[in-house]
Every structure is written in structure tokens, then in C-alpha cells.
Structure 1
Amino acid sequence: MTAERRRLAEADDPDRPGGQRTAWRDWGPYLAERAWGTVREDYSADGDAWRFFPHDHARSRTYRWNEDGMAGFCDLQQSWCLGLGLWNGVDPILKERMFGLAGPEGNHGEDVKEYWWYLDGTPTHSWQRWRYHYPQAAFPYEQLVEENARRGKDEPEFELADTGVFDDERYWVVTVDYAKASAHDLLMRIRVENAGPDEATLHVLPQLWLRDTWSWDLDTGPRPRIHRASDGLLVTRPDAADLVLRMASAPDGTATETLFCENETNRALLYEEDPTTPFPKDGIDDHVVKGTATVNPAGEGTKAAFHRILTVPAGGAEELWLRLTPAEGPEALADGAAGDTAAAFDGFAETMAEREVEADEFYDSVLPEAADAEERSIARQAFAGLTWAKQFYHFDVLRWLHGDPTSPPPPPGRGAVRNGDWRHLSSHDVILMPDPWEYPWFAAWDLAFHCVTMAHIDPEFAKVQLVLMLREWYMHPNGQLPAYEWDFGDTNPPIEAWAALRVFEIDGSRDHRFLGRIFHKLLMNFTWWTNNKDHGDNNLFEGGFMGLDNIAPLDRSTLPPEVGWLEQADATAWMATYALHLLDMSLLLTAHDPAYEDVATKFFQHFLTIAGAANDKGLWDEEDAFYYDLLHLADGRDVPLKVRSLVGLVPLTASLVFEPAQMGRLDEFILRSTLFLDRYPGYRSLVHRRGGPDAAAKTLLAFVEPERLERILHGVVDPGRMLSPFGIRSISAWHREHPFRVEVDGVEAVVDYEPAESTSGLFGGNSNWRGPVWFPLNVLIVESLRGYDESIGETHRVEYPAGSGEQHSFGEIADDLAGRLVSLFRRDGDAPRPSDARYPLLSQNPRWRDNIAFYEYFHGDTGQGLGASHQTGWTALVAHVIVTRRRNAS
């Protein structure tokens, strides 16, 4: 067992003395990259979160719910935060958080305009590595805002690399490493390398601050404080152990300042009101950049920084060492009372090196031997991104709606603007986020994908995350799951059951208690879907936009009832898949409780009736061999929305293979299922067996029968249609020359093929499902094709790619698609990674090319990464693909 596995075992041991189950998880990179511009910080009347709390306010204004920073660590309660501040000597502000455009500012929506990477990380955060490239020239804040405002949606985003600030290599490579000597002994190493041709100066400000927990209630008791001690910063906390942050002395004797202010809003600056303190939140910023007297000379506050100025020769590097530990006994504040600084760093370098070696050993145990060096690097950075994507997320919707006792009441009617029906939701948890900057709030269906990849390195945490979304402080009393902060009441695909089964399997298929906890809550959610999203009570489901944003010609969430209603191929298929996964769960649970056999029969029938309705009631087009949404107009006309897209491929994911051994002990289930099929023989086409009626035959339940799947794939795996060099496109490239048009209520709606960012503002316009390659649905298609192959094997073959003359099995097609997904990130020889190929700086420069960004989606023709540039959430599925692909090959 590796050292990291031992730490995980210690963290997850329920019988550990003192009940300290989570000690190794107590401190982690749980600090968001962005808290400004979020819904929970929005107290406006119109719900315009971006404008209510812009980036320009973030350095001066206290957050209500949680904090943000760079390369940050905090505890599980975010009572303290540790992060990085930098100043190149010419910027108008300190670099304390990543800069990006708000949703209304970007020509393709919100967009971060910085370059940083999550290079490494372990599940217990015993080792973490973060890297950032910081220009030595003035950061082009205004140019980025103005040029993106000038550009239209038919133009690409204007990125930091386009400004020229990196053209002559004048930038800093800043690497932050964390290592834990023990669960509550944190080592931080900041290494700054001067990549430029000349000597340069950098101000480095490691910062420690306390989340404001004292400004919102009338009586909060004693405040925590940070004080200057002889060898560092002392944090005194009324409800927890005191802490000391030390920084090692500079080898060359360079002086270090300690600076203090309060984590409180600069009210004089922002609101022209009387200040509550002369040392507000931006006090350190103003002092360093402008020389103002805005830091507390008494050496105390709720925000503090070490300030060291480094002058580094061209190509040279300097390091800063810090250590955060519990204070040893009652400490006075007099000089000399806090201990020997030098002694605190004995063994520092050795511990850092040891934790990095242990991380190597851990990932050697995770990644298959068959994976090559490039795949191992891709997967390891994908896993690392997930470890950095954990964030403390605090949001009490009821409190947010009514306001705090010490603050003015929110505008009336704000519950009607957003989330008024989710008063029960109260979060105070560490959650895996989709993207720490662009989406620093949980999204239920994103999280399900995150957990599947996370299960390969930390199955216990993955299980906790899946269970969390089903707890009473998240799940609505009516059974609905919260979608995401922007609108908890929206509907996302119900894939939690799929994720739970995958996590269960990755963890060794033994934690039936976890499966049972998930199953019972999902019963409530499945019932919510059947009661609320089946308009005609005919087993065809509506759902809404289902997470696919602008993939359809119509906004599927807002179709007025006087116009008609839409029966959706994807929503119906998701529900069929949901029924299959609950069927699978119930059968697995019968091993411990035979009562689940009755429930299994119920979900067997649910699946057959949903899949049967989809195949017989208008969603299937026999001539086109494809599934389409069906629009029922109020005047009685039915209009199929003939867009060849992922909407019509979701039915492929609704399949389940039964092993003979699994069926052998289920006499009652087999009997009831047989009687149902005898009564409704039309459903027999959805049940398939290979090898005849003998006991060794596998059984396949499938929404799409194998012969029909062959026909669908024939039109999909054509490079001129949906088969991209990098996976399955979300819309067929055939629509490039043949746009789909439909007139509804006097308005013509059009869908064509757009391989990159959306060129219109439809349905928000900040993402695009009209052509690019998206990881999550590609992975589901790959897994489903493998399931077909497992059950029916070589009996079905398809020309792949279309026009090649080569016949391949479903399993071989799945393997090739998986390889195409991985190829997005592969750098083979001198060939750049397709995902970064647009910029030679990113793809070819030796200081950049090995740092991998995991984008939200990818250009359908070139593979260029698009959208959120740190969407390590569901794009981290590439690690899942690599692990499962290579293990299958072995």
C-alpha cells in the first residue's frame, strides 16, 4: 500500500480514535478562484449578478458567503484562507485573483483571461502543484475588455496571448507547491522563475486572511484575529486552536515586511460612506501599489501578508518557504515568544521531496502499465485538476432571500427573480466544482461526471459527493435535484444513478450500503420526473433544455403553452436510462435484501414502456434512421425537429447487460418479467440474448435494437457528418450546407453547424452545442457501445469510418472513439496538442507545452479547446477513458 493510500485509509476509518475521520481532508485547496459575480453575492433587484459584484469591487469589498484567491488553501469551514499575491511593479492593482470578463462583457460570455494550470495533486492534498504565468509588462486589463467588447459573436475571443505581453518571454513562471508534513502541518513553497531576457523585480505576497463570519449577525461573539509574532503571523480563534504561519528568512538577507488590514469593505471608496476601519480589505493592495498608509502599524487585523521583493536575473529563480501549523501552547505577542523560525524549517525540503515521490508512487498504482508516458501525463493532470476543483461552498438560500440582521433588507420580490422555490437549500460543504473560475458553483449533472473520474483515486470522496446532492438540504422536498446556482429549478439529465453505479464498480462492487442510500433517494427523484415531465402521460418526456443549451432550434425550456409542447428524444432516453440504472441497482441490492426484487420488476416495466413509446409514437424516423424531438403545436399539427444531433444519440446510451450469474438467483424477477412480455409481446424487440436460451447467454436490454443501431451509426460515423477526428460532434456537419429551418408562432428558427463558439446569442449564447465535441456524452456513447459488444459481440459490424470499406464491431468503434478523445490532449513528437494548437506559445514553447488545459468543449473540426479553460470537471473524464481503455486492452 502506498503512503497516500495509507493516508486515505486513515482519513476514512470510522473507528479511528477520537472520531477524527477527516483529519487528512481538513485542509485542502478549497478556495475558489472566483467569488465575485456569483448569484449568492448578488443582492440586486434584477438578478444581474455580474454587474452587482464586478471584478473591480473584489479587492475592496467583503464577500458574504465565501472567499477567492490564487493557489489557495483553507480548512473545511473556510475559517482561514491562505493564498498568493503578486505585483510586477507596474500593474494598477495587486494580482490577488484571476482576471476575466463578466458574462455581458465577453463576445462569447464570461471568460477568464489568464494562464494557470493545476499540475499535480493527491486526494488527501498531501501534495499539490499549481503554476501561473504572470506578465512582467502591465497587465492589459483595459485592452482585454475593450477588444472583446468590439468583437462580434462571429469572431473568436480575444485572449491574453493575443495582446503580445508574452511575445518576448518577459513573464514570471510562478509555481506553488503544497505538502503536508502531517494532517495539520502545511508546507508551502513559492518558486518564481524569471523567463525574460533581463533582470526583473517581483513583489511576492503570501497572504493569510479570515473569512468574514462576524459582520452578518447582531451577536457573533469574539472575533478571530491575526497578530504579528516574532517569527510569523499568529491566528487566534475563539472556537478552534490557534495557528502560526511562518516564512523562512531569505538566504541573502532580503527584508520581509508583515502587513495587516481588515477583511472589511472599503465603504468610503465604493459607496462614499463613512469608513468602518482605516485599514479595509484593499489596504495591503493600496499600500504596496500606491504607498498609502492603509496597513495597521499595530500589527494586527483579519488579513495579513508577508511582503518580499525579489530581484531575479534573467533565467534565474528564487524560492519562498512557508509553514502553517497549530500554535504550540499559549503564545504571547512579544518578540521572541513564538519560537525559532529557522528550526521550523528543518526538514522542509526533504518533506517536499518525499511527498512528491509518494504522489508518483500513488499514481503509478492508479494508472495502467499499458498507458504510455503521454497518456500518464494527461491523466495525472486531469486527476490533479479535480483535486484543485474542490471548493468550500456556502449558501443559505432562505437567509439570502431575507437578508442579514445587520444589512439592509434585499429588494422585494427577489425570490421571483431567482431560486425563490429553493428556500430549504443550505450548503456549507466542500464540493467538486465544474470550473473554479467560470463555474465556481456546483452543477448536479457535472458533479456526477466528476465523481466517476474521482472514484479512480478517491472513491470515498466520490461517494460522499453523490450522496450529498440527495441530502435534505439539497434535494427539494418534491424530489427534484438542484441544477446549479444560476437556477436551481432548471432540469439537467438525471445521470446520478449511472454515476453511482460506475463509482460502485470502480470501488470494487462491494459497498452496498452506499448503493442503498443512493437508491432510496433516487426513487423520489424518478417519481418527480414521472409526475412533472410527462405532459401527455404517454411515457414521452419533455425535460427542457436538459443541459444542452442551444442545441435545438427552439428554447426547449420556455416554449409557451399556447404554442404547444415538445416531446424530447433526449429527455425520454434519459428517463429510459434512469429506469435501467435503477433496475440494475435493485438487482444488485437483492443480494442483501430479496425485497428489492419487486422493485426491479417495476423498473423493468418502466424501461420497456418508455423505450416502447419512444420507438412507436413519433420520435423515431424510419426513413432517416434517427431520433428527433417532436413538436406538438396547439393547432393539432406535429412537427418533427429534424436536427441530427446528440439529442438523437442519447437513446444509444440506454442499454444494460445482464450477466447469467446475476440472473440465476432471481426467480421471481424472471417470472414476472416473462409474464409481462407475454402480455405485451411488442416489447420483446427491446430484449436481446446472445447464444440462445442456454444458461450462459447474456441478456441485453436496449432502447435501440442492434439492427437499428447499425443504421443509426452508418449516418453518424461519417467524417462529413458527426464523426470528428476527435470524437462525435454534437451536431452533424451535414447541417453546414443543409440548415434545418422551422417556423413556430410566426418566427423562423434555424439550426446549422457551428464547430466552435456560438455565433448568436440564442438561449444565453455563452456555450455552444451546435457542432463541437463535448466529452460527457461521448463517454456515455463509448460505454454503451462497449455494452452492446459485450452482449452481442461480433454478430453486428458497421463500416467505420463510413466510406472506408472497413467493417468494425461496436467494441472496436468504441475503442477508436476513445482514442480520438484522448488525442485532443496528445502531443506526439513535434505535433502540438490539438486542444492548444491555435497558439504556438501554448503548444510549442518549452515552458508552456507540458501544461495541459482541460477545456469545456472542443472545435468539431480542429479540436481546439473552447469555453471554460479549466473545466477539469467533466473533461477530466479523459482520465477515466485512459484508465478503462488501457485496462480493457490489457
Structure 2
Amino acid sequence: MNEHRKPPTGTVEHGRLAEATGRLEDGLHDANPWYEWGPYLSERAWGTVREDYSADGDAWSYFPHDHARSRAYRWNEDGMAGISDIAHDFCLALSLWNGVDPILKERMFGLTGPQGNHGEDVKEYWWYLQGLPSHALLQWRYHYPQVEFPYADLIAENGRRGREDFEYELLDTGVFDDNRFWIVDVTYAKASPTDLLMQVDVTNNGPAEATIDVLPTGWFRNSWRAEAGSAVPGLSFTGDEMVLDHHRLGGYRLQAAPASDGTTPRVLFCDNETNIPKIYGGDPVTAYPKDGINDHLIDGAATVNPDLRGTKAAWHYRLTVPAGQSVQLRLRLSDAESAVHDTDWAGGAFEQTQTARQHDADEFYAALAPDDIDTERMRIVTQASAGLIWSKQMYSYDVGRWLDGDPAEPPPPPGRENGRNAGWRHLDARDILAMPDPWEYPWFAAWDLAFHTIPWAHLDPAFAKYQLVVLLREWFQHPNGALPAYEWSFDDVNPPVHALAALRVFIIDGGTDVQFLERVFQKLLLNFTWWLNREDPQGNNIFGGGFLGLDNISPVDRSHLPAGCTLEQSDGTGWMAFYSSAMLSIAQHLVDFDPVYEDMVIKFLEQFALIGEALEKSGLYDAEDGFYYDRFTDSAGNSSAIKVQSLVGVIPALAAATVPLDDTARANKLRKRFQRRFTNAAKREQRSWRFRTDATGHTRVLLSVLGANQLRRLLQTVFDEDALLSPYGLRSLSKKYETPYELPNEAGAVIDYEPAESRTAMYGGNSNWRGPVWFPINYLAIRAMVQYGRFFGEETKMPYPAGSDTEHTFFDVAHDMAERLISIWLPDAHGRRPVYGGTEIFQTDPAWKNNLTFNEYFHGDNGAGLGAGHQTGWTALVIDLLLRPPSKSHH
């Protein structure tokens, strides 16, 4: 069996996590008390599927940003630097006003998919700087312009620009010129699971004195409108504190101390109810609607409740801050019992808690990291981890209720029951999930989430395991075995990576939680069968699946082929070989604890061999080019290979696993079963290289759909710096397509190398696999190199990069590939971070340059961050590369 490194323990934070044994096993009711409050508040609830009750399914138009301040949400809530309780009943977030904006800054602004020339895109600058997985410490930073925020300009200019043009970003508008902006830091520190201290540091970064309104705001999620007769919770002002009246959170207080400059806040109350006259033109349900505080502050309207009660309230500070100076605010959200014990909570006790939690964070990350890690690499670990932690969200979505409508509300439009997600009525989610990005992707995505669990396993193994288990529970997984892809289309097909993720989580966690591994394995058997039945309808082990996550990577739209056309996909079949090898590896771990799993080892060994045979017979491998290509057949029956060298053709090489056979009987049994798949001596000889026996008599077998020469040929292209290998990882499309490739006899089927943003409208235009570096496939390629290295050992070497005079082992290659990815965030010899590209203020300004972003993908030539700016999810795989770098003992 593999050796497993024992996970770190002994820190204060690890003690908190130890309380999580078995937590969330039955959902929210079994949660660790430290998780009662966390960063579960989305940064965008508008423009989401859950809030879309339109007739045409246009979520962006049905609930735009302009409605968000005035219209109560049904399923979700959003805010800046926001937290909520674990049931998402009460939310606390920050609102700001610079005195000139037309609206309060209550949530991050960005362009919808149709508004952006490269798809949806947030137009704000904020970062996650600190986080502990128990949420005992959270730190967030935001840069807010002191001049009017250019909402209309951003929409208009991006609307004028085409896909050939760069995005028009907030920095381009000039609102940060002369450094006229506020730096706003929000830090949450817990004195106990039910006692939260909120510190807001407001720094005037501009050259002159300026005034800002700061409004820490609390509100109840509007759950009462969905059910007639539901009790309405309340906030009221008693003495010097806001008091919560709620069936579960009753007695909680939200307190605020005078600011450090002596400013005393006032309180403002309204209701978290839709402004009916404004949105729909009907009669109001309250004189103090959701936008009441906004309208009162901006326009002086009488829209706040003079009786100081409601379901939404804010502490309002108006601060005048000299240039270069800061003012600090201190607030406290605590249950009734905690509030009684310390009336002087904002003094020394506050500072002691803040200091203690920062010490806990330093201690926790030091325990995770290698002893020789330097400051810059540790910065990557801590800020990537903070992004993961801040991206947790409460995900509430009852698809059946959403399709049918709420009893107390008007029914949805006709035809909705046959529209989006209509086949997923069983899905009834109410869980804390790891999201790809809390603004651009404020909903789970199945294959993203699988990758999230790998870095999460370093931080909080119990949470990582729950994330893998929950999508396999009956309220997520379809009765037919399918996993829901993502909110916009649960029916879409994502690559099957959950088995690999489960195996990595199991190993990172020390390799002892067999019950977890067994539980996941049993449910994945259903999903594996669904793949066999759904994506291989002919039963020939050649699999489809459409995009399979690799959007825009082909000259044809692989998910929407022309009528009468078909596509045989090398990546679909490669993914199934990958799935088979991962399932076999899990079974191999389980068989040491229960010999009944030997049958599963044999099953997946044979399944892998069948898929390998099918790939071999399919003709998808081009012997002349040494690469795998898709085959397109048009409506007239004309068939041709799509001879494009991209990650599609690399996927078969990722299906690699080294299986150790620790006893002779099992080795002989598996050798016999494996080789009986091949009926002639030539094939047996061809496969004999897959078995190796060392000097001690231990045998290992390599699972790979490629022969030794095929692997070497394919890797020549993969490791060619003029093709797929960039200084910052593997490109998704070969650089040689700077000269475009055109599919013969198919008009418009053209693809060219695009190292930055996509210029095609395919799949929304904002998800580009036509050249940039993406973390998930790079990570899997590194994993494959480690597997090949474990099999071939030190004696097998290859030129790396291709064409060089220097040869390296597979382990050396894996290590270098990891370093290329890590270098995206490391300052180069000139102190410039590739992630920031040519944006000078990010590279050199002290207020910006150390605030890291973990983007969706990266420029294929210079490593600049692209796509979603806070997609820490799968890009946080860099944590695993830093904390457990690829090596001979890396499993």
C-alpha cells in the first residue's frame, strides 16, 4: 500500500476542527458549533437561475443588478464581506457610500453575459486575505473609488466593444487616478462559536480629506413570503443594541461601538420586502421596503422606520478621514448569553480576541506548510486558502418547488415545468457547499467542486469529504446515477473526476478513513453505470459527452452538432479510462480492508482494458502525428479526423495508474485476468511492458491506454514549448494554431490559438479553452506524470522540454510542471508577478501588489490572470502543489 503522511494536528485551529467528527453527516443539523456562523453569503444572487421566474429563462434580464437593492430574493442573499448563520436566516454584510454614487454600494457590480464583450464579468476590486476553516478568523479587503462609480460607462463602453477587443475594466475608467480610493478591510474574529467581533478599518488612500458613509447591515432572509401564514422575524432597537426576534436566533444582539475617531453611529431600519411600486407598479406591502435605507441616505426619502424596527437594519457611521489616515469601527454579533458577560466588549477584550485569532491562523498555516517554505509561497497558500474559505455558500434550491412555484405566490409561467432542470425535481438542496466563485459562479459546479476538495483536504478534511459525499446523496444524485452538473443546466455532462478527488482526499487525510472511501465508491458505481448507459449507447466503449468541460476547444460546437452529424470524442473515451483507473485504485485500497473488493479490482481492470481496446480500434489515434483526434461525420456520412492538437487529445494519457501487487497470488491472478483480454502472442508481448517486478519480488502493473512508444510520441507534442508547453503550464490548444486550422468541407469550422480571452460566441464567449492555461487539466497531467514515474522509476528519461539535450525522469517533469504553475504568482527577477500581466498598478503599487487573485485561467504566453477574478476553487489546487509537491513519494 501507499505510504500516507500523517495530517498535522496540535494547533488551536486543529482542535476546533477535531470537534467536527461526523459533522454534516445528516446535513446542517449535525454541524460543528464553530460553523454556526460563516462566510455563507453569496456576492451575487441577482441574475441566477434560482431567482429566475421568467417565461423565457433569461435569468440575467429577469433579475438584473438594478433590481437587487429593491427586490427581495427568494432563494439566496448577497452582500459584501458578508457572513450568515448556517441556515442562512440572518445575514450581516457591509454597505458603503462615497457621497456621490447614485446608489449605496451594497453588492459587487458586474456585467451580465449579454453585456460583456467576453461574457459576464465583475467590475470591482476585492480580495480574501485571511481565513481559518472554522471561520474563527476571516479577513477581506476592498478598494472603493472616491469619485462616482462608473456604472453606466462600464455598460456602454463594453457594449461598444467586440470580441476582438479587450474588456473595458474599472481601472480603465480612471476612477482610481491620483489614488483617490478607500481601502476597506473587514475582519471577523470569533471569541466563541456564538460571539463574533467585526472590525472595519477604513483608510483614506487619497491625497485629500474625504467623507464616507459606512453601514454594517444586518437582515433576515425573506422566507416568510413563500409560505402563507409564516411568522415574520424582527429586528428592534433596545438600549444601545439591535436585538433579533427569531425562532432560532432569538436573543442575538448586534452591537456597535463609537468609531476610533469618536463618531457615534445612528440606526436605520426598513424591511427586507420588495419595493412593489418601483418593480411591478402595484401597491406597497410596506412603507419601508428593502431599498428604504438606500433611498433615505441618497435622496432623503422617508423610507426608514421611525419606530426603529423591521427585518433589515444598519448601523450608520459618517466618517471624515484625513488623507492617508484610517478610522476603525468595532461591532459585535453575539447570542444573549455572551452579550451579558462583557459590557465593555469593544476595549481590551476585543483586541485580545483579534490578536489570538491571528496567532491561531499563523500557527495553523505554519503547521501545514513545509519547513523551508518562503514568504512568497506562504502568501500563495494563505490567500488561496482564504479564497476557498470565503467561497463557501449556503446553497438552497428545491427544484420541484421552483418549477411549481410557491403556494403563497403567483404561479410560474406556463411551460416552465418542461424547461430548464425539469428532469431534476428530486434535487432539494440546503447545504453549505464550496463554490467556484461567489460572484461569477455563485452556484456549485460538479467537476469544479471535485477539484475544490483536494486543497480543502489540507485545511479541513471533514468538510472536503462531506463535499464529495453530498453530491452523491439522494437529494442531489439523480435516480439514474447522473450527477448534477451546475445550476444553469444540471443535465450537462462534466468530466468524471469525483473518484480521483475522493482518492486524493483519502490519501491527504492520512489514508485511514476507509468508511468514507467505501461510501463514495458504492455511489460512484451508480454514476459509472450511468456513463456506460448514457454516453456509450452503442456499447462499444467509445464515449461522447459534448464539451465535457472543455468549452470552445474545437472548431465545432461539440455539444450542439449540426443536424445529422456525429462526433467520436477521444476525450470522452479517455475520461472513462481515467474514471476506470481511479475506481480501480480505490478498490485496490479497499481490498486490503475487505477482500470482497477483489472482484471490483478485477471488474475495473477489465473495464479499463476494454476501453483501451476500443480506443485502439477506434482509429482516433493518429500514428503519424502521435496524437489523439476527434472524428467528425457530417450529415452525408463523410467522416474525417479533426486534426487539432489540444487537451482533448491529451486526456487519454491522463488515465494512468500504478497498481502495486503485494502478494504473488494476487499478482498472478491479475496478470492472468489482464492478459486474457488479448488473444494472440503479439498482443501479449505488446502489453508485457506494463508489468514490472523489482529485486524483492514485488510486482506493479501500469494502467495506460497508450503503449510505451505512443506515450513517448504524444509527450513530444505535450512538452513542446512551441506547441502545448508554456512557461506557466500546459496550454489548452497548441500555439501552432496561430495559423488557424479549418475543418475540411465544414463551413465556419475554424479554430485558432487564443492565449487570452475568447473571441467566439460559443458557450457564452467567456469560457475559453482555445489557448490559455487551466489548472484542472494541468493538475491531472502532473498526477499522471507521478504515476508514470512510480512505474518507470529512475531508469526511464525523456527530453524535457521536447527537443532539448537534457533528459529528465517523469518525477522531474512533474516537479517542473508544478513549478511553472506556482510561478504564476511568484515575483520574477524584476519583482513582477505574471498573474498581473501588464497592469502596472498591480505590479508596483504597495496598496495592490501583494493582494493575490486566483483566476479561472491564465494567459497561454505570459501567465496573466483571466476569466473570473476570484475563481479560487480549482485554481486553489496550487495549495496541494505547494504543501505536497510532486515527488517519488507523492501519491
TM-score normalised to structure 2 length: 0.95
Write out per-residue CA displacement over residues 144-188 of structure 1, whole angstroms, 9 at most, x where no aligned residue: 111100111001101001111112011000000111111111111
The question of 1:276 aligning with 2:285 is answered: yes
The question of 1:536 aligning with 2:546 is answered: no
The one-letter amino acid of 2:495's match is P
For 1:196 and 1:664, how far apart are their aligned partners in 2?
75
| Corresponding residue of 1:568 | 569
What pairs with 1:129-528 in structure 2 (closer than 5 Å)?
Answer: 129-220=139-230, 222-328=231-337, 341-343=343-345, 345-528=347-530
SS of structure 1 residue aligned to 2:328? strand
**Structure 2 unaligned blocks of 5 or more:** 1-9
The one-letter amino acid of 1:423's match is R
1:728: Cα distance to partner? 0.6
| Corresponding residue of 1:719 | 721
The question of 1:40 aligning with 2:41 is answered: no
1:11: Cα distance to partner? 2.8
**Is the 1:28–1:75 Cα contact (8 Å) retained in structure 2?**
yes
For 2:672 and 2:806, how far apart are their aligned partners in 1?
43
For 1:183 and 1:652, how far apart are their aligned partners in 2?
47
**Equivalent residue for 2:109, pick from 94, 99, 103:** 99
Count of residue pairs the alignment pairs up = 878
1:416: Cα distance to partner? 3.1
The one-letter amino acid of 1:275's match is P
1:202–1:184 CA distance, 2 compared to 1 (3 A): same
For 1:56 and 1:322, how far apart are their aligned partners in 2?
29
The question of 1:110 aligning with 2:120 is answered: yes
For 1:551 and 1:124, how far apart are their aligned partners in 2?
39
| Corresponding residue of 2:3 | none
| Corresponding residue of 1:649 | 650
**Equivalent residue for 1:9, pick from 3, 12, 18:** 18
**Is the 2:818–2:885 Cα contact (8 Å) retained in structure 1?**
yes
1:401: Cα distance to partner? 0.6
1:888: Cα distance to partner? 6.3
| Corresponding residue of 2:884 | 884
1:405: Cα distance to partner? 1.3
**Is the 1:84–1:96 Cα contact (8 Å) retained in structure 2?**
yes
For 2:282 and 2:535, how far apart are their aligned partners in 1?
50
The one-letter amino acid of 1:703's match is V
1:677–1:586 CA distance, 2 compared to 1 (3 A): farther
For 2:330 and 2:625, how far apart are their aligned partners in 1?
64
For 2:341 and 2:303, how far apart are their aligned partners in 1?
29
1:358: Cα distance to partner? 0.8
For 1:667 and 1:326, how far apart are their aligned partners in 2?
64
| Corresponding residue of 2:5 | none
**Is the 1:569–1:628 Cα contact (8 Å) retained in structure 2?**
yes
1:887–1:165 CA distance, 2 compared to 1 (3 A): farther
The question of 1:817 aligning with 2:817 is answered: yes
SS of structure 2 residue aligned to 1:71? strand
| Corresponding residue of 2:4 | none
Deviates more, 1:873-882 or 1:365-374: 365-374
1:339: Cα distance to partner? 8.8
For 2:738 and 2:261, how far apart are their aligned partners in 1?
63
1:666–1:15 CA distance, 2 compared to 1 (3 A): farther
SS of structure 1 residue aligned to 2:484? coil
For 2:889 and 2:598, how far apart are their aligned partners in 1?
35
1:278: Cα distance to partner? 0.4
**Structure 1 unaligned blocks of 5 or more:** 332-337
1:236: Cα distance to partner? 1.0
1:717–1:666 CA distance, 2 compared to 1 (3 A): closer
**Is the 1:247–1:321 Cα contact (8 Å) retained in structure 2?**
yes
Write out per-residue CA displacement over residues 327-352 of structure 1, whole angstroms, 9 at most, x where no aligned residue: 249x9xxxxxx897534655001110
The one-letter amino acid of 1:478's match is N
1:624: Cα distance to partner? 0.5
1:82–1:544 CA distance, 2 compared to 1 (3 A): same
1:714: Cα distance to partner? 1.2
1:692–1:9 CA distance, 2 compared to 1 (3 A): closer
1:64: Cα distance to partner? 0.3
| Corresponding residue of 2:6 | none
The one-letter amino acid of 1:199's match is E
Percent identity of equivalent pairs: 51
**Is the 1:10–1:21 Cα contact (8 Å) retained in structure 2?**
no
| Corresponding residue of 1:736 | 738
SS of structure 2 residue aligned to 1:189? strand
1:795: Cα distance to partner? 3.5
SS of structure 1 residue aligned to 2:465? helix
For 2:167 and 2:685, how far apart are their aligned partners in 1?
52
For 1:351 and 1:714, how far apart are their aligned partners in 2?
56
For 1:858 and 1:37, how far apart are their aligned partners in 2?
26
For 1:211 and 1:445, how far apart are their aligned partners in 2?
29
The one-letter amino acid of 1:196's match is G
SS of structure 1 residue aligned to 2:458? coil
The question of 1:626 aligning with 2:635 is answered: no
**Is the 1:370–1:886 Cα contact (8 Å) retained in structure 2?**
no
1:681–1:460 CA distance, 2 compared to 1 (3 A): farther
For 1:435 and 1:19, how far apart are their aligned partners in 2?
26
**Is the 2:261–2:327 Cα contact (8 Å) retained in structure 1?**
no
The one-letter amino acid of 1:641's match is I
**Is the 1:459–1:503 Cα contact (8 Å) retained in structure 2?**
yes
SS of structure 2 residue aligned to 1:573? helix
| Corresponding residue of 2:129 | 119
**Is the 2:23–2:32 Cα contact (8 Å) retained in structure 1?**
no
The one-letter amino acid of 1:706's match is A
**Is the 1:226–1:301 Cα contact (8 Å) retained in structure 2?**
yes
The question of 1:827 aligning with 2:812 is answered: no
1:665: Cα distance to partner? 5.7
Write out per-residue CA displacement over residues 831-882 of structure 1, whole angstroms, 9 at most, x where no aligned residue: 3111112211112100100000111111111111111000000111111111
For 2:665 and 2:286, how far apart are their aligned partners in 1?
74
| Corresponding residue of 1:873 | 873
For 2:775 and 2:640, how far apart are their aligned partners in 1?
30
The one-letter amino acid of 2:626's match is A
The one-letter amino acid of 1:114's match is E
SS of structure 2 residue aligned to 1:493? coil
1:828: Cα distance to partner? 3.2
**Is the 2:271–2:288 Cα contact (8 Å) retained in structure 1?**
yes
SS of structure 2 residue aligned to 1:263? coil
Write out per-residue CA displacement over residues 204-241 of structure 1, whole angstroms, 9 at most, x where no aligned residue: 10001000110011121x22111112121100112444
**Is the 1:415–1:421 Cα contact (8 Å) retained in structure 2?**
no
Write out per-residue CA displacement over residues 546-565 of structure 1, whole angstroms, 9 at most, x where no aligned residue: 011110111111225x5232
For 2:678 and 2:197, how far apart are their aligned partners in 1?
64
What pairs with 1:750-765 in structure 2 (closer than 5 Å)?
Answer: 750-765=750-765
Write out per-residue CA displacement over residues 281-338 of structure 1, whole angstroms, 9 at most, x where no aligned residue: 0001111111111000101000000001111111100111111111249x9xxxxxx8
| Corresponding residue of 1:783 | 783
SS of structure 2 residue aligned to 1:760? coil
The one-letter amino acid of 1:255's match is T
1:477–1:345 CA distance, 2 compared to 1 (3 A): farther
The question of 1:72 aligning with 2:68 is answered: no
1:849–1:684 CA distance, 2 compared to 1 (3 A): farther
Q: CA RMSD in A?
A: 2.1
| Corresponding residue of 1:334 | none
For 1:193 and 1:15, how far apart are their aligned partners in 2?
39
For 1:706 and 1:355, how far apart are their aligned partners in 2?
53
For 2:887 and 2:253, how far apart are their aligned partners in 1?
46
SS of structure 2 residue aligned to 1:41? coil
TM-score normalised to structure 1 length: 0.96
